[in-house]
Amino acid sequence: KAGVTQTPRYLIKTRGQQVTLSCSPISGHRSVSWYQQTPGQGLQFLFEYFSETQRNKGNFPGRFSGRQFSNSRSEMNVSTLELGDSALYLCASSLDSGSSYNEQFFGPGTRLTVL
Amino acid sequence: AQSVTQLDSQVPVFEEAPVELRCNYSSSVSVYLFWYVQYPNQGLQLLLKYLSGSTLVKGINGFEAEFNKSQTSFHLRKPSVHISDTAEYFCAVRGRTVNDYKLSFGAGTTVTVRA
């Protein structure tokens, strides 16, 4: 079974631009979560989507948004990029079978550099 | 809310020596506990998890961890490390409710294994 895939793997943008990152979950997985990883703040939860609805949200400004499609693929968008948005963005998918524990499987990440 | 403190930011160790990475957590609710490993330019890989039951948990690549509820700790150990264990290690927690997919991570411990 293929793992979580993220595209693109690397991205360079300039301040003020916007960017869209894509995540394809493991086949059959219905929950997709996004995390930001920076040297200063570490790993921080952005948001989680399930059945095309945002189910959980972290403490990020409204410039960060996301969506999920009917095939469970997810995109996240960052508008009006700032230098501090430079980070590794990780996507994780899980089955969400209804039990209390569902393992999250992480993709390789998208490295965003804002100049 | 949950928080995680990894007590060592960097741990240098010689090949075939034992290693222990320390993790303490804080939470007002019962949690699941995890250790993840991240190799350069890759996503996160789950090493092991504590859900319930035996407090000694065995994971992949010879790692194990012990959950101590009274000390709110979840320390990771390996009796004999290899050069290939050089990586960054993250301790994480999440709540036990069905819809709680947010992982809260520690700042990470960089393990460098030397010959």
- Alpha-carbon distances of A17 from A20, A80, A82, A115, B89, rounded to whole Å: 10, 5, 9, 10, 33
A2 pLDDT exceeds 80?
yes
Grouped pLDDT means (10 residues each) for chain B, 115 residues: 94 98 92 94 93 93 95 97 97 84 93 97
* Amino acid A91: pLDDT: 97
- Among A42, A56, A98, the residue with its CB nearest the CB of B102 is A56
Residue A10: closest CA among chain B residues belongs to which residue?
A: B41
A8 pLDDT exceeds 70?
yes
A112 pLDDT exceeds 80?
yes
Question: Which residue from A52, A49, A46 is spatially nearest to A85, judged by alpha carbons?
Answer: A46
CA-CA distance, A69 to B55, in Å (whole number)? 40
Q: How many other CB atoms are found less than 10 A from the CB of residue B17?
A: 12
Identify all chain B residues contacting A58, using CB atoms and an 8 Å cutoff: 102
A87 pLDDT exceeds 70?
yes
* Amino acid B98: pLDDT: 67
A32 pLDDT exceeds 80?
yes
Q: What value does the mean pLDDT of chain A take?
A: 94
User: How confident is residue A100, by pLDDT bands cut at 50, 70 and 90?
Assistant: low
How many interchain CB pairs under 8 A, A with B? 58
- Among A4, A58, A100, the residue with its CB nearest the CB of B98 is A100
**Bigger pLDDT: A74 vs B100:** A74
